[in-house]
Structure 1
Amino acid sequence: MEKFLVMTEREKAIAFIDNDIIKPSDAIILLEGDGLNRYPKAVELYNSNIASNIVFSGGITDYTYGSFPFSDVLPHLLQAGIPTQAIIHENRSLNTREQAIEVIKLSVEKNWKRLVLVASHEHQYRAYLTFLKEILDTSSDIILYNAPVHNLGWFKDLGWGMRYERLEQEFVRIEKYFQLGHLATYKEAIEYQQWKELQ
């Protein structure tokens, strides 16, 4: 008799996160990092009327790691037709966890209830689980949607690593930050998805 393997919670959560259902929201959260590869997705979402605000989250400048500062990204957003008043810079955060803390704090202050997270495809899982952890810890009932940049090559080295190799590193980081209590669990991500789809 043929034996079938059961999907793990990690595999299920990855499938949910990677194929999230995007609904109109209050803000698009454009995470700093990956050079200039992420901002076009934020522009696409804005032009699709998904949200009327774009929050650029991050205060790091590290070109060797792909962390381009807001001052480098802003002209591209403006040139793409995003109005100045629609762009907010969250400049306190220096890593993904701090981005989650600062963005959720900003969302509570502005009474935002729905956010769309924009990261690169290899970074999206850790970013989503980090933001979800902050949402659950603050009991903010914010609905988080995931809209990663997908049209990026896996095997081209942009100067801060090849995505194919970075993906494996991301899952090493996920396990590390799970242990530190910085990320939601895969089980929590699945339960959150069930709750979210009922809203």
Structure 2
Amino acid sequence: MKINISQLQPDKLSDAQLTNLLFKNLEDDNVEGDIIFVPGSSKAVIYRLPKAIQLYNEGRAKKILFSGGVIWEGTSLTEAQLLKQRAIELGIPEEVILTEDLSLHTKENVLSSLLILDRAFELHKIKRILVVTTSYHMRRTLLNLKTFMPDWIQYSMCPVDDNTTKAYNWFENPYGRNRVEMEANKIIKYVKQGSIMDEMIDISEC
């Protein structure tokens, strides 16, 4: 069943439908792009950074953009600065790394990255962005990119799994369930209030 996100009621969705909303049809297409885009999080260094480094080392893109201005407990660095520091320690050349450290959430990750990308490439020259974020966060990230980035840009989704919020196990533990339900609520809420674009998705249970 295909339906617009704006028509969904989060408290009426089954576990299978929640899984489809967050995870379905968001697999990597293995296409090369212009840049690897990594929005920050409290554990981005653990989960998202290794994937970004893998993609760079495979030659999928020649530059990496780390985005995030939140400073988490235990460090004095922003998310983007922390990701850059660790990437350099792991062998990524500093000159291929771009950072954006003003944003405080997903929408701002995208908006604040526009100027960084324009200065580095000129936006009209960017054809494809490789998006690295956790699997359950990919749908919202992609909707924000489609809403605020130029419409000629295409995206390759390169999701990574954390331990408890995978498509096949989130419903087995309270932490994963809470994350998925909160994420679904955010997506539907932001679409309905017009903060991000609406999109038709397949939430069929079979």
SS of residue paired to 1:40: helix
**How is 1:177-192 mapped onto 2 (pairs within 5 angstroms)?**
177-187=190-200
Instruction: Kindly indicate whether the alpha-carbon contact (under 8 Å) linking 1:58 and 1:94 is maintained by their aligned counterparts in 2.
Output: yes
Q: Which residue of 1 aligns with 2:37?
A: 29
Task: Tell me, in whole angstroms, the C-alpha distance in 1 between the residues paired with 2:97 and 2:30.
Answer: 20
Which residue number in structure 2 is paired with residue 148 of structure 1?
Answer: 159
Aligned counterparts of 1:114 and 1:143: Cα–Cα separation in 2? 5
The aligned residue for residue 182 of structure 2 is 169
Q: Which runs of 5+ in 1 are unaligned?
A: 1-5, 191-199
Q: Report the Cα distance in structure 1 between the residues aligned to 2:109 and 2:81, rounded to whole angstroms.
A: 18
Which residue identity lines up with residue 183 of structure 1 in the other structure? I
| Residue pair 2:66, 2:97 contacting (<8 A) in 1 also | yes
Instruction: Answer whether contact 1:122 1:163 (CA < 8 A) is retained.
Output: no
- Structure 1 equivalent of residue 9 of structure 2: none
Distance 2:176 2:21 in 1: 22
Aligned length: 173
- In the other structure, the counterpart of 1:15 is 24
The residue type equivalent to 1:70 in the other structure is A
Q: 1:71-113, CA deviations, whole angstroms, 9 ceiling, x for partnerless residues?
A: 4323320122100001111112121111111223433442322
**Deviation of the 1:24 alpha carbon:** 0.9
Provide the residue aligned with 1:85 in structure 2.
95
Q: Is the 8 A contact 1:34 1:120 kept in 2?
A: no
Q: Which residue of 2 aligns with 1:197?
A: none
How far has the Cα of 1:121 moved from its partner?
Answer: 1.3
Query: Judging changes above 3 Å, is the alpha-carbon distance between structure 1 residues 144 and 108 closer, same or farther for their aligned structure 2 residues?
Result: farther
| Match runs of 1:66-105 below 5 Å | 69-105=79-115
If asked which structure has higher relative contact order (CA below 8 Å, sep 6+), I would say 2
Deviations 1:170-199 (A, max 9, x none): 010001111232222223x89xxxxxxxxx
Q: Distance in 2 between matches of 1:13 and 1:62?
A: 26
Mapped pair 1:131 → 2:145: yes
Percent of aligned pairs with the same amino acid: 24
After superposition, the Cα gap between the structure-2 partners of 1:44 and 1:82, relative to the gap in structure 1 and judged at 3 Å, is same
1:49 alignment partner in structure 2: 59
Q: 1:105 to 1:71 in 2, by over 3 A?
A: closer
The secondary structure found in structure 2 opposite 1:122 is helix
**TM-score normalised to the size of structure 2?**
0.73
The secondary structure found in structure 1 opposite 2:135 is coil
CA distance 1:34–1:163, change in 2 (3 Å): farther
Which stretches of structure 1, 4 residues or more, deviate above 6 A after TM superposition?
none
What is the DSSP-based 3-state SS (H/G/I as helix, E as strand, rest coil) of the residue aligned with 1:30? strand
Alignment partner of 2:195: what SS? coil
Q: Structure 1: how far apart are the matches of 2:184 and 2:130? A: 22
- Indicate conservation of the 8 Å contact 1:29/1:116, yes or no: yes
